[in-house]
Structure 1
Amino acid sequence: MKTSCNVAPPTRRRGMTGLRYAAAATVVALLAACGSTSTGSTGSNGETNTVKVVTNFGTIYYGLLLGLDLLTQEHPDLKVEHVQLSAGGDSLTALASGQADLVSVGVSPVLIAREKGLPVRFGGALVTAHIALVAMDEKYRSLADFQPGDQIATPGPYAVGSIALLGAAMRELGDWKKVNGMFRMMPHPDAVTALTQREVQAHMATPPFLQQDLAKGAHEVIGGDKLLGAPVPLGAFAFSEAFHKNNPKLYATLVEAIERGTAMINNDPQAAAARLAGIKAVQATKEKILVELTEQGIKFNTKFEGYAETADTMLRMGLIKKNPALSDASFPSVTGS
């Protein structure tokens, strides 16, 4: 499968903010990736029988992982290869290069990449969740308490959690740039350690890392619907348009499998936890997974919630120039608000 992109490389213009430039810099990586070829083999119907899947860290990807596990048991001829990366931009680079076929990713990286010309679309949502900005020091009780020089750990400058936090800064402080300059990029597991050791002042945390922070003595500064003004669409999954075009039956099968994995979590969390514990990419006990599935403010759902609010926040920040409807950014049959 060959992918191609028609994207103009970004230049750093005067007055370009760090967040906008970070988004633009990702396009450079996408440019370098375009035109590469996937080496997967094909089945008798001409579609690939190897699916390269990129997942990130955390509970929010359990529906996807569980669905794929169910699918490979039913179809032993289908080979699923897993790659873990730390940020949405890396995932989209892999997707653009043909080195990945299915990626778990946030809403904001996909909207930025699509506006820059990358041919990717959502296949569905994964979860909405209670996420929060947490701090160890009691002096941080609102966004107004953060001062220049303070550092907030986040996996990426335009991860959904980061966008939601900047939206809150617009409402509470009148200027999202006051918080944007505090971001320090690191994966969530590293951020938990950095926060505990006081190497950063705060962590924009998602489950299960939010719960890990709180267990170590952190407190919530701002979180939940107060961030975005709506449920935060924390996880989604996406495909390249080329994969969708070249493998329509496999695409539909993958989406259906993720929907089944999500339904299993909601309908039988005990069975879902037991199965997830046996998946190498999860690396957690059944007991720990069950807590993550049922007690951490996560709603597993392939229907989008909070998409419109996320896109509108990005538009007001200048990260995107147009506010695409969900139907414009997704393949047919994706639903939500």
Structure 2
Amino acid sequence: MSTGTKARVAVLISGRGSNMAALLYASRLTDCPYEIVLVASDKGHAAGLKLAEAEAVPIFAAPAGLKKAELFAALDQALRSSGAEFVALAGFMRILPPDFVAAWEGRIVNIHPSLLPRYKGLDTHKRALEAKDLIAGCSVHVVTPELDDGPILGQVEVAVLPGDTPDSLAARVLIAEHQLYPRALADLVMRDRTPEALLQRVRELAMALPGAEEAVSHGMSCFRVQGGKMFCYFTEDHHGDGIIAIIAKTSGPDEQAQLIDQDPDAYYRPAYFGPSGWIGMRLEGAVDWERVGDRIASSWSLIAPRKLAMLREF
């Protein structure tokens, strides 16, 4: 979880993977907040797999002949093995089963060649032309169990020209897709990584503890027990250190040193607080919120009065 860690994205394809390529090449820009860690396909002959392999991106091709449940179990295992945090569908021509969507809830996105909610499903350009639409376009949305129905993350409009055919319109919409998808994906992965979002998650964990109160100390948001001692600080670039983290109590220097030795990417000895045995726990990158919650609760337990500790036990 070092500073600047990019979100890990896996891409699912079924064919040539042009939108996968757009995501991949955008990911190589220095300011892009995500990286492509896997390209996976339900079809072993998908052309996009060859491109990904040539670009040194790990690939996974599902074995032929799998039943639907077996296919998605294999894909899920490949995604998890890659360490993916988000899944981007890029021409993946399978309807995702509800249990697969639930397992990745809020973390699967798709690009669709229409201005949703219009023209869900297939033949979008043909349907737009038949309706004599003057404007077509594309949408990026969060995937939910209902087809093409999740929250929309972004759209780009494309003019319909006189004499357009489904193919000619599709070609221009595809250009728009390649512009929209990387930007919408970048916005999504950053949504939960802003300092405001991270503080809110810390706040929820800290304020769930008995007697917890929020305050401000040393220019930082912090949490204390009923007007008494502090048990957690939220630090964002404090004194220009460039770190977003919590600072929590430990039982002393020995535990502090042990934590840093075990995981120096996650833990550090914070300035000013470190000599007293406090530990810094970074919140950049892929955050293990269960572990953060445990650290906050452990810090709270070191100072909480017995009567409050008893409340938490029950």
More helix by share: 1
TM-score bracket for the superposition, by shorter chain length: under 0.3
TM-score with structure 1 setting the length? 0.21
- Larger RCO: 1 or 2 (CA < 8 Å, sep 6+): 1
The structure whose Rg is larger is: 2
